[in-house]
Structure 1
Amino acid sequence: MNRPYDVVKRVLDVALAAIGLLLASPVLAVVALAVLVTMGRPVLFRQARPGRHGRLFHLVKFRSMTVGGEDEAPANDGARLTTFGRWLRTTSLDELPQLWNVLRGEMSLVGPRPLLPAYLSRYSPEQLRRHDVRPGITGLQQVYGRNALSWDERFALDVRYVRHRSLGLDLRILLRTVRTVLLREGITAAGAATAHEFLGPAELATAGGRGPVEGRR
């Protein structure tokens, strides 16, 4: 544990998330109204995700699917995504409410993305290291391919971040995130609405073990 880094990172997370929420408040209000008008209530989508050391918290996003769609196995995510919801995802505006998760200390601005709780038992010991830190709104895998990468590639980048994390690396990731969002890079995996299911290590995948599907970032 790098105590000085963790303290400074947390201070910056709180400061930047608070400023971000303040500056983005007009956008948040417009998006919330648009979701309400086009999809109705609820405006926000909440789902349990594992955070640091696997502790569960409720991630919050703008809803992008029909009611109940995001709580189901997303094999047919493309059909459940609304037109406005699809646009929200391509612009990453659906992620803005997660600044609240950052303020609460459940997430960081930079870190491995929080996935589904079912995946905890599927990680290899090395992949499980992604939970040594707080999950992030953006991370190394988000700026180097996102959902276009294979799971092995994505988790390798997550573990690389955990091993080499620093304020300098966090800053580079944040700056590169702006480019990634503007260019809308890596939003979907080939043949999926967002990402394919993570089956676990190769030997489990070939054995046909399946569980809840990951269809959301």
Structure 2
Amino acid sequence: MRVKRGFDLCCVIPAIILLSPLLLSLAIWIKLDSQGSIFFLQTRVGQGGRLFKIFKFRTMHANTGLKITATTDKRITRAGMFLRRYKLDELPQLFNVLIGDMSLVGPRPEVPDYVAHYPEAVKAEVLSVPCGITDYASIAFRHEGELLATSDNPEKTYIQEILPIKLAYQQQYVRERSLWVDIKIILQTLKVL
């Protein structure tokens, strides 16, 4: 765990410094594009079931309320469309890694409502490690919003069809995890972006 945390900090601190002009520019754009805060904070479930607030750039008009979003959702702002397309809305999660809520690589943290659908044995396994910004499921479902856009009931589709596959990927990560696997997943993530 110390090696993983050390690796995270060695990557995240320089990344935040290098990306600070981009982060500032995006923050200004979000503020000019629509009313509301720059950041979207949402409660997620982390390692051991601990709740924390995940940071994202806000991509939707304020006070929209839903937990999942299809690509064609009318509540997405102009800036939000661009941020989502290039996954730039996820960049503030570097601060979650910095403060220790997350790791660079690990099972993506979910909202408590969706964690309630995890089978107990799977939940124990997936939540046994630090959650992350990226993992196998993040790569496989990088176009999740487009999949949900074709569904008559996006939340049902997510819970019944997408979530079980994501959990299988997350279990695979837990069983294979190593520093080398983390590096491989980071490189695959950068490649698909």
Q: TM-score, normalised by structure 2?
A: 0.85
Residues 36 and 61 of structure 2 are in contact (CA less than 8 Å); yes or no, is this contact kept in structure 1? Answer: no
Distance in structure 1 (CA, Å) of the matches to 2:178 and 2:69: 37
Moved over 6 A (4+): none
Q: What are structure 1's unaligned runs of at least 5 residues?
A: 1-5, 182-217
Task: Indicate the SS of the match to 2:73.
Answer: helix
1:89-168 matches, cutoff 5 A:
89-128=84-123, 129-146=125-142, 147=144, 150-168=162-180
Where does residue 183 of structure 2 map in the other structure? 171
- Identical aligned pairs, as a percentage? 37
Give the letter for the 1:160 counterpart: Q
Superimposed CA distance per residue, residues 60-102 of structure 1 (whole angstroms, 9 cap, x where no aligned partner): 1100000112x33557770111122011011011011100000
Distance in structure 1 (CA, Å) of the matches to 2:116 and 2:57: 28
Where does residue 82 of structure 2 map in the other structure? 87
Deviation of 1:150 (Å): 2.7
Where does residue 16 of structure 2 map in the other structure? 21
Q: What are structure 2's unaligned runs of at least 5 residues?
A: 148-160
Distance in structure 2 (CA, Å) of the matches to 1:75 and 1:150: 14
Residue 33 in structure 1 maps to residue 28 in structure 2: yes
Residues 35 and 61 of structure 2 are in contact (CA less than 8 Å); yes or no, is this contact kept in structure 1? Answer: no
The 3 A distance-change label for structure 1 pair 86 and 127 is farther
What RMSD over aligned residues (CA atoms) do the two structures have, in Å?
A: 1.7
Task: Indicate the SS of the match to 2:119.
Answer: coil
Q: TM-score, normalised by structure 1?
A: 0.76
Residue 65 in structure 1 maps to residue 60 in structure 2: yes
